[in-house]
Structure 1
């Protein structure tokens, strides 16, 4: 195998930055390229925070990967002297009559020895007093889960990459008819090329990826908590996933409000022209959900809103594979909204694939995916 000494990673989101850092630690001369600044508002891995937990139904692979990701964010936080991961716990709400995913997750956590416990229905009013939980059979609790400060973590990874000798360049990369990436109008010349451009991957690789990716809007709404009340803060309330209602959220932390997100399919988004403004329908749906689950927040003012885009795959697995025609190029796409929690673990995996130390996982291969109801699959 020829020795690889140079690498170009395109896309300074979580996948690109952690891959660039991993390749740099392998001794390669690495350049990280992005059209905007790392953590920019349009990036899927921008924004304030993301949940980090290990419950993934029957899937042991993602459960273990998230544990590696948790350690990676803690280690990077120590290296940069920044708080990147907050361990406030996470609870999966098993709705009466719809507990299959939580039941499967519990068995997986047990097999892997990942800390967890079950909070029965009669305990929930005590453990979660600000939440209306009369339709919940039990809560599956992960005490070592929590959330990652997303934009802060991506930018911290970039700074660490630069401290360790990596190079960052602001430039736009396009592809030619053969799907070769072009920088300054010329094919990228490097031993290793990794393309990790989030939702833009569909347009960059129309022949290879477009039919596999569904780029949709994701609206995020944060609610101001009642004055003087601490019950919604991360010191007293965990992250939560309301699988039965297609919702999830993060408690108030870091000067941000209480995050409430409803997941449902929407129209495709024009990445380069469409305004990132939350529509009135989304606001109304969120308020109806809050009235039912968090009645104390139903009439509280919205403190912050954001729109990001997610490149979904039909089966919600990532696509991390070599380009079928350009073996020296690795494509990272289809983040399905849950890549950030895995952090440095994904970066190491992609770096290993790019250096041909291992093949990709079967679930990550670029191939047609069976259709599933994305709204019913928690990420």
Structure 2
């Protein structure tokens, strides 16, 4: 089915109610589409959605090499629009905190990489941080008590900060629902087990309760789970990262409010504490974890298959504490109150994949967040709606197209220009049963 068959009365089925699914539903409803249904196996916000998080980094930078590199083209165009959305869209505006962000490294090679690829050091908005005093002065006294060994960085005060991703996702869901979108959630009724193919096209999806949900157009936006519903010709690799929380006192929460994000591209990052639960989130930085097992949905081929777990490997906890020892050693030994692995799907070049399937023309793909999906929430649904309507701008359309040629002989363990940890993609199959944290399960996420 082509774009010529698309009208405001067309039925549209969105498989996946995470960050991109909710954003897409909202934008389509705003454009006047009247028959939109979203399927998700969990109530929204889903406890396994990458965007169900107390905070995520939001930063727009005009990346170098944007003229030719697909990832730079997609990242720059999409984050430029997203930043405007965070600032102006009433659905999202309350959840963006423009506190600034620091990007940093702790070795000569990492610092060189940042200068060559991450920032424009000649831009006056980037304030150079050369020593421990420079870092400590970016935050109130007593916050950054570490020695920052070997660290150098740059502070960007504008167009950067953090978002309360969970609240923003729920806000998008609430507004989409108010505009008439139907959400079918929970298992089995919202759990998509397969797409439905007829006459060479996709005509909807089948859920675990046996029902077939037919639609004129189907949008697949199931995040890391998308690869199990369609053959992406190796264009998607489910990849996981690790996060943990430590409890803070009410007095500490006040002291740590409105802080810039502190990100070391090989050690980790933190943002200000969550005001609801009084918890500070810390993430160790690394190229990612995969779960390499025989995958029956791909004929038994070894693939990375995602699974939910509200624990992290002890090695990840150790890396998070190492980051704290460099930056806030007074917190380094505090017990963890929460942790989980967080999945996304990497494309080979880390550019998004938003395109109609070349063989199944009623199927639109909206996948491949590649670790940058949540920050796009206010406007990514608009780009997906543009793709559905055939209106994407030429350069962006090319950068985020269906591109299996980029995945020929794909190295599933490629670090994809990420740093940290052992500087390799790690396999969760190699983490023993006794090599995970044992934090009491929490139901709030």
Task: State the TM-score bracket (shorter-chain normalisation).
Answer: 0.7 to 0.9
Compute the displacement of 1:377 (Å). 5.9
1:240 maps to: 262
Contact 1:246–1:376 (8 Å) recurs in 2: no
Q: Gapped runs of 5+ residues in structure 2?
A: 65-71, 292-303, 421-445
Any runs of at least 4 consecutive aligned residues in structure 1 with deviations exceeding 6 A, and if so which?
A: none
CA distance in 1, matches of 2:387, 2:121: 27
Residues 30-74 of structure 1 deviation map (CA, whole Å, 9 limit, x = unaligned): 222212111111112212221101137423652342232133234
Contact 2:268–2:282 (8 Å) recurs in 1: yes
2:59 maps to: 53
DSSP 3-state at the match of 2:137 = helix
1:83 maps to: 94
Compute the displacement of 1:323 (Å). 1.3
Find the partner of 1:72 among 76, 85, 102: 85
- Matched residue pairs, number? 367
Cα 1:95/1:63, change in 2 over 3 Å: farther
DSSP 3-state at the match of 2:23 = helix
Find the partner of 1:260 among 272, 278, 282: 282
CA distance in 2, matches of 1:275, 1:138: 33
TM-score, with structure 1 as normaliser? 0.86
Cα 1:303/1:126, change in 2 over 3 Å: same
Q: Gapped runs of 5+ residues in structure 1?
A: none
1:105 aligns with 2:118: yes
CA distance in 2, matches of 1:70, 1:198: 22
CA distance in 2, matches of 1:337, 1:9: 21
2:298 maps to: none
DSSP 3-state at the match of 1:143 = coil
1:208 aligns with 2:223: no
Cα 1:200/1:109, change in 2 over 3 Å: farther
2:135 maps to: 124
1:154 aligns with 2:169: yes
Cα 1:317/1:253, change in 2 over 3 Å: same
CA distance in 1, matches of 2:87, 2:309: 35
CA distance in 2, matches of 1:67, 1:190: 32
TM-score, with structure 2 as normaliser? 0.74
CA distance in 2, matches of 1:282, 1:193: 38
Compute the displacement of 1:154 (Å). 0.9
1:356 maps to: 390
Compute the displacement of 1:200 (Å). 0.8
CA distance in 1, matches of 2:247, 2:63: 32
